[in-house]
Amino acid sequence: MKVAIASSGLGHVARGIEAWASDLAAELDRRGVDVRLCKGAGPAAAPYERVVPCVRRDSRLGRLASTRLATRVLWRFGWGGGYAVEQSTFARGLLRLLADEDVDLLHVQDPLLALLVQEARGRGAVKTRAILGHGTEEPNEFLARLDYVQHLAPWRLEQAQREGCHRASWTAIPNFIDTERFAPDGPNLRDELGLAESTRVVLCVAAIKRGHKRIDYLLDEFAAVADGREACLIVAGGRESDTDELMKIGTQRLGERVRFLPALPREKMPELYRTADVFTLTSLNEMMPIALIEAAASGLPCVTHEHPVMQWMTGPGGVVADLRAPGGLAAPLGRLLDDPAEAERQGRAARTHAVASFSTERVVDRIVEYYRQVLDDAVPAASREVA
């Protein structure tokens, strides 16, 4: 079984998708699977890594090319931007690699890559079967075109079934993390960040933007919490078009009570989680954010919106609230900051749940079994109908 894990953003973008690809390839290699990790930039740091050049989403050429692509088929799926250009140009080199190395199976969380490789297989250009790990909220119209989909949460698979978009070849397997690396014990970044041990720290790990991640709401809610408390907010995540503006607003409003870390190396993430006392995500809907299970495994109580997927992810270590409303986050944050014993109790429960549900060994066993099922699937794509 020859497997490829691919991510067009790996090497130049810091998101959960890129972390997932890197971690999965490393674990498959450790298990002796014949794997190659295909990345869009950076060096080939391990023998199994392959660099596949592409037009990066944030490049000038990517922005210009996206205008033309936006007028074609991709606009129907919301892919008129640089991300579509990046995936399309990455796919050219990826298809050559899949053919040259006679790869049996491709596993990605970049949706356009899965579709393009499946279409190439239909033309006979490659023999590779493509699995999409569904982490980017594609509509049913798109998912229905794919033979193999890995939903990341049981609720997502059930939702697709309720909406009449499902194939027998689809599955639900969660993301995973190294629960020994992301653990409560070990060094933290308090000294490096100049934070006293007495300071209560709230952490959010998400792209620093408005919209989906709602960092503007987070700043408003923390400002209400910070009054009268020795507390600090840390926001760590990738840059977006409005990141600089949000950082300026946050610093002007909160001063030293907020720290933005838009370029923290991934190897420092375990130390960052250990720096915090409480974790929060202010998005109202998520597919399955890796940061949330990293925080839970690190022993942090997690405050999220009352969404089924996030409730399932955090289990008994989660606090859910209506984060659509002003004050919806401030109230539970305030309670956890004021009651360290309760925060620690919930943090222990969060870790127990994360280890039991999302550890590398447990989840990758299921992924490898799914690979075998996909490769044993003899039903031609053209004859399979969506349920």
Report yes or no on 372 lying in a domain.
Answer: yes
Report yes or no on 387 lying in a domain.
Answer: no
Taking the chain, what is the end-to-end CA distance rounded to the nearest angstrom?
Answer: 29
Residue 7 and residue 86 in one domain: yes
Residue 91 and residue 232 in one domain: no
Query: CB of 231 within 8 A of CB of 196?
Result: no
Model confidence pLDDT, tens digit, residues 226-256: 989 999 999 999 888 899 999 999 999 999 9
Report yes or no on 208 lying in a domain.
Answer: yes
Q: How many structural domains are present in the chain? A: 2
Q: How does strand 200-205 pair with strand 171-172?
A: unpaired
Cα(177)–Cα(24) distance, rounded to whole angstroms?
9
Report yes or no on 102 lying in a domain.
Answer: yes
Residue 153 and residue 302 in one domain: no
Cα(340)–Cα(50) distance, rounded to whole angstroms?
46
Q: Quick one: CA torsion of 335, 340, 341, 345, rounded to 10 degrees?
A: 80
* Percent of the chain as helix, strand, coil, to the nearest 5: 45, 15, 35
Q: Pick from 190, 112, 176, 162: which is nearest to 365 by CA?
A: 176
Token pair recorded at residue 374: 């996909």
Please state, rounded to an integer, the average pLDDT across all residues of the chain: 92
Report yes or no on 185 lying in a domain.
Answer: no
Low-confidence ranges of the chain (pLDDT < 50): 70-79, 380-387
Ordered DSSP codes for 280-301: E---S--S--HHHHHHHHTT--
Phi, psi of 350 (to 5 degrees): -65, -45
Report yes or no on 317 lying in a domain.
Answer: yes
Residue 151 and residue 215 in one domain: no
Q: What is the CATH number of the domain that holds 259?
A: 3.40.50.2000
Query: CB of 111 within 8 A of CB of 149?
Result: no
Residue 163 and residue 200 in one domain: no
Residue 248 and residue 313 in one domain: yes
Residue 145 and residue 289 in one domain: no
Token pair recorded at residue 53: 């050049």
pTM, rounded to two decimals: 0.86
Residue 228 and residue 322 in one domain: yes
The pLDDT, as a whole number, for residue 270 is 98
Q: Which residue range is the domain that position 310 belongs to?
A: 190-358
Ordered DSSP codes for 139-164: -HHHHTT-SEEEESSHHHHHHHHHTT
Residue 163 and residue 310 in one domain: no
Residue 329 and residue 367 in one domain: no
Report yes or no on 182 lying in a domain.
Answer: no
Residue 345 and residue 365 in one domain: no
Report yes or no on 54 lying in a domain.
Answer: yes
Residue 158 and residue 270 in one domain: no
